[in-house]
Each structure stands twice: as C-alpha cells, then as structure tokens.
Structure 1
C-alpha cells in the first residue's frame, strides 16, 4: 500500500490486528498480543527491540508488519505513532524515554533521531505543495506566520528571514494581544503559514480556521495529515518530528523553513542583493557586528 494509505489506515490499526489475529503464526500472535496491550511503547521500539521483548526474531516482526499490509516495519511503526502522538501527556512521554540511560546515549540517540527525521521528511514531503507554497509567499499581500508554544521557535525563525526578503511579514505573537485581533484584516490576498506539532494547539486551529473563512491561503507545516491544521490547509508540508521523549524534533521543520526562505529568496535575488547592501551599510555604521 502507498504511504498516504498507510497513514490513513493507522486509525483502523487495532481493529485490523484483531481481525488478522486468527490467521497469524504463533510468533506473530505473540507480537499482536504485546502490541494490543502496549502499543504506546511499541510505537518507539525498533523491530529488533520488539523481537527481543516478545521473544521472536526480527524477521518475524517484519513478516508481522507485512501480514497487516504494511510495506515494512517502519510503516507499521508510523501507524502506531499516529495513534498515540496526540494522546500522550508530558509525564507519559518522560516515562517513554527510559532508554536514555546516560549522556553519551542521549547524545547519540537524539542526533540519530534527528537524522532519521530529516531523511523521512525528504522522502515524503510533497514537492508540488512546496513549490506552490513558495510562490504563494512570494506573491502574497501579507504573510502571517503562526506557531504556538514550542512551534513559535520555528515561526520566529521563518518570519525573521522572510521579513528580510519580503514586505509585510507578521509573526502572530501571544504577547502582543489576542491572535484574532492581529489577523482581523486578513483577506484572500494573504497567506497564513501555520506551524503545528503534537500536542496540537486548539488555539492554532481556531485562528487558522478564521483565516480560512476570510479567504486566506493556508500553508501548514506539520507532522501528519491528521493534524487539525492540515485538514483545512491548501498546501501541507509534512515533516517528521518523532522523538521518544518529552520534546519533539523541530530540526526537520527548521530545514523546511530554510528551504522555503532560500526558494523565495532566489526568486527575489536582485532585489535582496540591493536590500542586503543597504543592511551592510547600516550594520557597519552602527557597529552591529564585531
């Protein structure tokens, strides 16, 4: 099955395991039983680790994933993560990080996770959606960038650089009054970039819904087609953010932001060269840099 189908089928994963159970081999039934009781743990286990825990071989785990209709264990794991990622409390996510036994392990696991997330993002990001998003940003009357809680870091980064390239870039800030007041003049000539990751902010969805009703073009930078903002977006840029801990990996989101900035910048190459020339003079005049 293709990637989109696999993601959509994650909602039926548990019932699918139950339906397939009578036809599974003895070893596969052990895996099924363990997943049904511990799917929140399995979502962040490697095939090897799951096999060791259950007492079967890694190849049995892979065949189990195939028996459920998945192209491989990573796709089954993606489906499990879709099931749980927005339901986990922070306390539960801390408990899941029990494999982070020491600082060296933490360093290696976190960096490897970020590498895997970037690789997964590169494989799955919609290139046509990216191209349209870039063009919409370039031609927008005004750009509103929204990211709440930890996502605000990505919003601020994207907004900082787009503001150098383009006019009328506005980062929606919670410390600058109500979010709705900041976008009350939004219309069909404007673009909203909504950055949202688990646990998804209810307020973000409400603000984006309002912008959509006013006719604005919505670009969502999120981790799942099931994310609330993705359901109303015109362009969905999916990024992996899996991290078996109480924080999410925002590295791929920053990478996609970099790509958007550079894409827009290259289309405005001559204009931004003149702009940067002016900035260099200002920076030198006021000793901004050492």
Structure 2
C-alpha cells in the first residue's frame, strides 16, 4: 500500500491551463501587474508598495496626500504615473479607483474582527484568498517546478527569519530530489555554497526573503546570479531590490498583525512548488518515496497511528 504522501503525489498533480475569462483576479495581483516595470526608482517602488498595501484608501487620495503618505514629492508621483503607463496622476487614480471599487463591491460585508488573535487569522485568510486567485493560472508554478526538479544540485537559500521556510522546503524536497543543498548562513559561507553548487552543475536556487529583508540575502542572490545560477524567489514583495535580482518571483502576503509575522501563504506556495517538482519527474518521485518508506519502516522513524 502506498503511504499517504505517495498517494498525494499520485493524485494531486497540478493541471496546466490559464484561467478562464471570468476568473477573479485579486486586487494585489492587478496592481503588481500594473506596476511591473523593471526600471522603477526606489521612490517609485515606495509609491507602488504603498498603493498595493492601502488600495481601498489610497485610490481616492489627492496627489498631495499620496505624496505625503508615501514619503515622496508630488513630482515623484507624477513621474511614477508616467513610468507605469499613464498620461498623469488623474488617469492613474481613475484606474486605481476602478480596482478599489471592485474590491469594495465584490468583498464580503464587514464583520466583527473579534480579538487581536482572530484578526490575525482573518488577515491570513485574506492572504490565502489572494494566493488562491494568483494560482488560478498554474503554468508559471509548473514551469519553475520543472526547473527546480532538473537542477542538480538544487540550492535552497534562507537567511535570518527566512530560515524556517527554507528548512521546510529543503526537508521535503530531499524526499523527491537526489541532491538538495540548504544554505542558512550568510556571508562567505553562503558564497562558497553557491559557487560550489554552480561548479557541481546546479542551475537554480530557490531563495526566501521575508520581512525584515536582509541585506545579506540580496548580496547572496547577486552572487548566485553572477555565478550563472537562476534564482526563483518566494517573498512578500513583488517590487524591490531582491525581486529585481530574481529571475522569477512568487509574491505572497505574510501575516503581520502580531509581534512576529506568520507565513500561511508562503507555506502553501512552498507546497505548490514541491508538488510541481513531483509532477515534473513522477517516476523518480515514486522511486525515491518507495525507498524512503522502506528505510522509515526498517528503522521505525514514525509512531504507528
């Protein structure tokens, strides 16, 4: 009998194909697409991030108020509107208002958030709902999963607060991939590991960058790119210096209502990429899972349910 993990690998294959015309796209995804410009200045990225985080309020601000809240000058807002393809701020605001009004019209009625712990759960539910909309088109996840599966070795990078996500991904990936290398220390240790991975034939790195975003993560990603490695990034921001350096970015919201962030949506994103890796080479997946189950039974790794 296959283990539950093997059965899930067989039964949960991701199906390709783009979403239909009536698929709902999250406001966050709409804004990320709208602002996806490789040459935005740091000030322009600050404006974009403020709009992404406060769309229902920011869409109705005057240019003066938006500049004040984003911490930039009024001319910077005008230049930002031009940089993302609009004739000026009034045209940009009209587009933002259509997105905001669609959000308000299509969202559920406001309910009591209860206590702070319940509010934190509500925020994570919203993050997961946004991720669900983003995954309506699974083609990009499928493609990156194939690349990660084919990279031997496959390097997984997570520094500081991002270590836990990197460790989870690497632990699971080792069940289905023959050579997974985990990097959780920055500086020269990370550089050595990345360079050795490339010399050994590796082609891809999966990197994690959660708030607060570490300077050493940016440096390590640049080292990887300079060495000839491709970088897939799981982070909370689609815009910013680390995302600019990555070849592919999966931006998912993080829970920020409590003292320390929670990572429900990034965790699901990890599982989705792991599923895509199993789908990319099903024969290898089953062979490795079979071998692991035999070893686990022999050495009694797990308690009997």
CA contact (8 A) 2:141 2:276 kept: no
Aligned to 1:117: 127
Q: What is the aligned counterpart of 1:69 among 96, 109, 121?
A: 96
- What pairs up with 1:179-190 in 2 under 5 angstroms? 179-187=190-198, 189-190=202-203
Please give the secondary structure, in 1, of the residue aligned with 2:197.
Answer: coil
CA contact (8 A) 1:200 1:227 kept: no
Separation of aligned partners in 2, 1:145 and 1:214:
15
Q: What is the aligned counterpart of 1:221 among 226, 231, 234?
A: 234
CA contact (8 A) 1:159 1:170 kept: yes
Separation of aligned partners in 1, 2:210 and 2:177:
26
C-alpha displacement at 1:232, in angstroms?
Answer: 1.4
Q: Does 1:160 align with 2:147?
A: no
Residue segments in structure 2 that go unaligned for 5+ positions in a row: 1-26, 38-43, 52-59, 72-91, 104-112
Aligned to 2:6: none
Q: Any runs of at least 4 consecutive aligned residues in structure 1 with deviations exceeding 6 A, and if so which?
A: 7-10, 31-40
Aligned residues: 229
Please give the secondary structure, in 1, of the residue aligned with 2:300.
Answer: coil
C-alpha displacement at 1:236, in angstroms?
Answer: 1.2
TM-score by length of 2: 0.63
Q: Which digits, 9 at most, give the CA deviation of each residue in 1:151-173, with x for residues without a partner?
A: 11111111111111011111102
Aligned to 2:217: 204
CA contact (8 A) 2:235 2:250 kept: yes
Q: Which digits, 9 at most, give the CA deviation of each residue in 1:105-135, with x for residues without a partner?
A: 1331121111100111222357443222111
Sort the Cα spacing of 1:110 and 1:285 in 2 relative to 1 into closer, same or farther, 3 A.
same
Q: What is the aligned counterpart of 2:151 among 126, 135, 140?
A: 140
Separation of aligned partners in 2, 1:249 and 1:74:
29
C-alpha displacement at 1:7, in angstroms?
Answer: 7.1
C-alpha displacement at 1:190, in angstroms?
Answer: 1.8
Separation of aligned partners in 2, 1:282 and 1:176:
36
Please give the secondary structure, in 2, of the residue aligned with 1:179.
Answer: helix
CA contact (8 A) 2:186 2:220 kept: no
Higher helix share: 1
Bigger RCO of structures 1 and 2 (CA < 8 A, at least 6 apart)? 2
Q: What is the aligned counterpart of 1:238 among 251, 265, 270?
A: 251
TM-score by length of 1: 0.66
Q: What is the aligned counterpart of 1:253 among 263, 266, 279?
A: 266
Separation of aligned partners in 2, 1:140 and 1:250:
26
Residue segments in structure 1 that go unaligned for 5+ positions in a row: 17-27, 41-64, 77-101
CA contact (8 A) 1:124 1:238 kept: no
Please tell me the root mean square deviation across aligned C-alpha atoms, in Å.
3.7
C-alpha displacement at 1:5, in angstroms?
Answer: 2.0
